Amino acid sequence: MWVQMILYCGLRPGETASLKWDDVDLESETITVCSAKESGSNTMKGPKTKAGIRRIPIPKEYLPTLKAMKYVKGGYVFTQRDGKSHITESSMKRMWETTKKYMDILLGAEVEHIKPKGKRKHSLIITRHVLAEDLDLYDLRHTFCTDLEKKGVPINIAKYLMGHADISTTANIYTHPTDTSLETARKLINSAP
C-alpha cells in the first residue's frame, strides 16, 4: 500500500511518512500534501518550498486500496506495527527491500528455499535476479510523472502534482520519452502541412 502511494500519487517517501488521515479526503478523492519527514531525522516539518504543498487526485486504481485501509482520525496513514507511530527511514528501507524482493520473484528470479533453525518457517534466497539492481524507490515518482505525460497532463500541472518549485525539474529530470510519446510526436510531425 505504501509503495503504491508513491507510484500512483507521486509522493516523496518523506511525505508518505508524515501523511495523516486528515490529509486524505476519500469523498473528494484527493490527498493534501502539507508536510514531510525531514531526511535523517524523525522530525515532521513543512516541505522545502511552497510548491511542496499541494492537492493530488487519488487515481481510481488506488482508491479502493485506501478505502480498505484502517482509518484512524488524526493518525498516520502509514504506521509502525503499533498502529500509531509514523514510519521511519529504516522501516521504509525494509518495506522497499521486501517489495523489490517479491517483485523480483514475480518477474521470474530464481530462488532457493532455506529452512533456518529456530521458529522461522523458511526463507527465500534469490540466486539469480531479474529485477534491475539499480531500481530505486524514487523511480516510482519518475514513473508517476511519466504516466502523467502519457495521459496528456500538461507539464505545468505535472509540476504542481510533483511538488516541484521549478518546471525545469519536471521537464529535465522526471519526464522520459516513451515509445507512445515518440509515436505521438511522429504522427504530429507527419500531420503538419
Q: How confident is the model at residue 144 (pLDDT cuts 50, 70, 90)?
A: very high
Comparing 60-69, 86-95, 178-187, which segment has the lowest mean pLDDT? 178-187
pLDDT value at residue 68: 92
Please give the span between the terminal C-alpha atoms of the chain, in angstroms, as a whole number. 48
Interhelix angle 138-150/179-191, nearest 10 degrees: 30
Q: What sign results for the dihedral spanned by CA atoms 139, 141, 145, 147?
A: positive
What's the rounded Cα separation, in Å, for the pair 121 and 115? 6
What's the rounded Cα separation, in Å, for the pair 93 and 74? 25
Instruction: Name residue 54's beta-bridge partners.
Output: 33
Torsion region of 40: left, alpha or beta (phi above 0 gives left; psi -120 to 50 gives alpha): left
pLDDT value at residue 44: 87
What's the rounded Cα separation, in Å, for the pair 62 and 4? 7
- In whole numbers, what is the pLDDT of the chain averaged over residues? 89
- In words, the CATH class of domain 1-85 is mainly alpha
pLDDT value at residue 47: 84
Does residue 161 register a pLDDT over 80? yes
Q: Which three cell numbers stand for residue 20?
A: 495523516
Q: Which three cell numbers stand for residue 1?
A: 500500500
Q: How confident is the model at residue 42 (pLDDT cuts 50, 70, 90)?
A: confident
Start and end residues for every CATH 1.10.443.10 domain found in the chain: 1-85
pLDDT value at residue 117: 72
Segment holding 3, helix H or strand E:
helix 2-9
DSSP classification of residue 93: H
In Å, how far are 20, 55, 58, 60, 63 from 74, measured between CA atoms?
6, 18, 20, 24, 20
What's the rounded Cα separation, in Å, for the pair 66 and 19? 13
Instruction: Name residue 114's beta-bridge partners.
Output: 123
pLDDT value at residue 167: 93
Residue range 164-193: mean pLDDT, rounded: 81
Comparing 50-54, 62-66, 174-178, which segment has the lowest mean pLDDT? 174-178
pTM above 0.75, yes or no: yes
Q: Which three cell numbers stand for residue 84?
A: 500509531
Q: How confident is the model at residue 175 (pLDDT cuts 50, 70, 90)?
A: low
